[in-house]
Chains A and B, each alone.
Chain A
Amino acid sequence: MVEIRFHGRGGQGTVIASKILADAVSKEDKYVQAFPQFGVERRGAPVFAFIRIDDKPIYIRSKIIAPDHIIVVDPSLIDAIDVTEGLKKGAFILINTGHQPKEFQHLGKDFRVFTIDANEIAIKYKLGSKAAPIVNTAILGAVPRIFDFVRLESIIQAVRDGVPVNPDANAAAAKEAYDSVQGV
């Protein structure tokens, strides 16, 4: 079983990202469970989402406190909270940022950092606005590049099915993100 925690801010669509990833994983003949932090979400406040992926039915239903990996949708959270809390040794950390992975060495030697500039890709494909780009699909495009539980085709299909508008631009953003991950 793989357990991943998403870090974002309320209003960024972090929970939706975890849901679309679950959609993509469901196309892989695997079992999946995705859930938000149970509670009241405020715009701009740190939020979490969680996903479990396994080859067999998933019975555990408690919160994930020691994730295998994390995905940081909003890099400003790295200075605000301890995103690596409970994170297992050998974890991958995927960060939405224009910076290089080596600039995040302070997160610890036990982890491997990958970066993707999802904001830039989202702005290029006119997803959301320049001030508030919708970065979900670009983040998700980076996922199959570093993890082996889901293929890019499944991500693109899930993105096409899951976005309310501009399926082509969203799919292209996911593909471009796949090709631009730093640290691989």
Chain B
Amino acid sequence: MKKVMMGNHAISHGATLARVQVIAAYPITPQTQVVELLSEIVADGKLKAEFIKVESEHSAMAACIGASSAGARAFTATSAQGLALMHELLHWAAGARLPIVMADINRAMAPPWTIWTDQNDSLSQRDTGWMQIYCQSNQEVLDSVIMAYKVAEKVLMPIMIVLDAFSLSHTYEIVDLPDQALVDKYLPPFDYKYKLDVKNPHTYGGLTTPDWYMEFRVKMHEAMDQALVEIKKEAGEFEKIFGRRYDTVDPYLVEDAETVLVTSGTAASTARFTVDQLRAQGKKVGNLRMRVLRPFPFADVREQLKNAKKVIVIDRNISYGYHGIWAQEVKSALYGHSKVPVFNFIAGLGGRDIFPETIADIVALVDKKKKPDQELYWVEVKR
């Protein structure tokens, strides 16, 4: 059924269709409508779930960890400072191997206070052991929540579904709401092998000496490697049932492109639009949209960028004193495999708009250079 909905409600509908059993969340702009709608759906009896009101994001994740440990399908959503407050428990959820799914609506970090989008909130949780999936449309948001449970429950690692504040969260567009019966066919109930059971008591996460701690970490890393296999497998499985395909990366006209833009989130969507404009002017430009940050799709990135003469990474984030974070990832993947020059542009922090003209200007600047003469380039900054 086709329905016009905002990105926040696409998350709520995705979680509902995934038949989540426990929702624990604390409101924060721009995430608020996600849990508003979910609380209504639960109160109306349309979803059989426990809705737990908590006093902070730290508690929201703690409740999800408890619920997931008991074998429930758990869900939460947050943004920015809320995600940062969860940080300790993000490690806990991943270390305890709990397949929790969370939506993070990318909001820039304070101070100064802001409610608008950039990716520093989610990217600074890169090393917590959570998979991260970046979306460019409300349809992808809804579908990704459903797919996330399939992958997470297969490999027993948590997943963060990430989308831009406002440009998706508060933007209305047409979303095909899948049939519940089809979703049920795709996503069976969660049957957690290690769930807490009073009849068969266990304790988890207790003190582990140097003799064994590292082995737990090896298992987590191997689970992430397996997650990459599962994400690619589910791209096909999901497409078979729903007709929409989501892989680790989303290439657009890269095969013959001399310059390839590497982008993510809604900036990637606008970059794709810009590629059409630049192609119409005869410029051989393509766009590689990064969808999965962790597990990092090394092979796909190397394959898609193998013909490029120049790579431009546009980062809506910054690792102060280094590069944009996607640029680090892409450079690291290419090192030793390719000599293609990688240009890094920082744009759109704190919700500053990234227009097609912004992207076209970046391409025009790179056209004039053989290789980068700066570590990174700031875009449209007042001095």
Q: Chain A interface (Cβ within 8 Å of chain B)? A: 18-19, 22-23, 26, 31-36, 38-40, 58-63, 65
Count of chain B residues near A, Cβ 8 A: 27
From known contacts A40-B115, A60-B356, infer whether A34 and B273 are also in contact, taking CB-CB under 8 Å: no
**B350 CB → nearest A CB, Å:** 11
From known contacts A22-B4, A35-B166, infer whether A59 and B172 are also in contact, taking CB-CB under 8 Å: no
Q: Is A36 a contact of B354 with CB atoms below 8 Å? A: no
- Whether B270 is near chain A, meaning CB under 8 Å from some CB there, is yes
For A23, A35, A63, which residue has the most chain B Cβ atoms within 10 angstroms?
A35
The 0/1 profile, CB within 8 Å of A marked 1, for residues 185-227 of chain B is: 0000000000000000000000000000000000000000000
- Whether B361 is near chain A, meaning CB under 8 Å from some CB there, is no
Q: Is B273 a contact of A59 with CB atoms below 8 Å? A: yes
Q: Is A33 a contact of B172 with CB atoms below 8 Å? A: yes
Q: How far is the CA of A39 from the CA of B168 in the complex (A)?
A: 13
- Whether B272 is near chain A, meaning CB under 8 Å from some CB there, is yes
Q: Is A26 a contact of B353 with CB atoms below 8 Å? A: no
**A62 CB → nearest B CB, Å:** 4
The 0/1 profile, CB within 8 Å of A marked 1, for residues 160-173 of chain B is: 00000111101111
For B4, B166, B270, B353, which residue has the most chain A Cβ atoms within 10 angstroms?
B4
- Whether B286 is near chain A, meaning CB under 8 Å from some CB there, is no
Q: How far is the CA of A111 from the CA of B362 in the complex (A)?
A: 34
Q: Is B269 a contact of A61 with CB atoms below 8 Å? A: yes
B218-276: which residues lie under 8 A (CB-CB) from chain A?
266-267, 269-270, 272-273, 276
**CB-contact partner of A32 in B4, B168, B355, under 8 A:** B4
Q: Is B167 a contact of A34 with CB atoms below 8 Å? A: no
**Residues of chain A lying within 8 A (CB to CB) of residue B172:** 18-19, 22, 32-35
**Residues of chain A lying within 8 A (CB to CB) of residue B174:** 22, 26, 31-32
Q: How far is the CA of A38 from the CA of B6 in the complex (A)?
A: 13
**A51 CB → nearest B CB, Å:** 9
**Residues of chain B lying within 8 A (CB to CB) of residue A32:** 4, 172-174
Q: Is A38 a contact of B273 with CB atoms below 8 Å? A: no
Q: Is A33 a contact of B171 with CB atoms below 8 Å? A: yes
Q: How far is the CA of A33 from the CA of B268 in the complex (A)?
A: 16
Q: Is A62 a contact of B270 with CB atoms below 8 Å? A: yes
Q: Is A26 a contact of B266 with CB atoms below 8 Å? A: no
- Whether B134 is near chain A, meaning CB under 8 Å from some CB there, is no
**Residues of chain A lying within 8 A (CB to CB) of residue B267:** 61
- Whether B2 is near chain A, meaning CB under 8 Å from some CB there, is yes
Q: From A34, which residue of chain B is reached at the shortest CB distance?
A: B172
**Residues of chain A lying within 8 A (CB to CB) of residue B3:** 26
Known: A31-B174, A38-B167, A62-B354. 4 other contacts (CB 8 A): A19-B4, A32-B174, A59-B272, A65-B355
**Residues of chain A lying within 8 A (CB to CB) of residue B276:** 59
**B163 CB → nearest A CB, Å:** 11
**Residues of chain B lying within 8 A (CB to CB) of residue A36:** 166, 170
- Whether B130 is near chain A, meaning CB under 8 Å from some CB there, is no
**Residues of chain A lying within 8 A (CB to CB) of residue B99:** none
**CB-contact partner of A62 in B165, B173, B353, under 8 A:** B353
**B277 CB → nearest A CB, Å:** 10
For A26, A40, A58, A60, which residue has the most chain B Cβ atoms within 10 angstroms?
A60
**B105 CB → nearest A CB, Å:** 12
**Residues of chain A lying within 8 A (CB to CB) of residue B170:** 35-36, 38
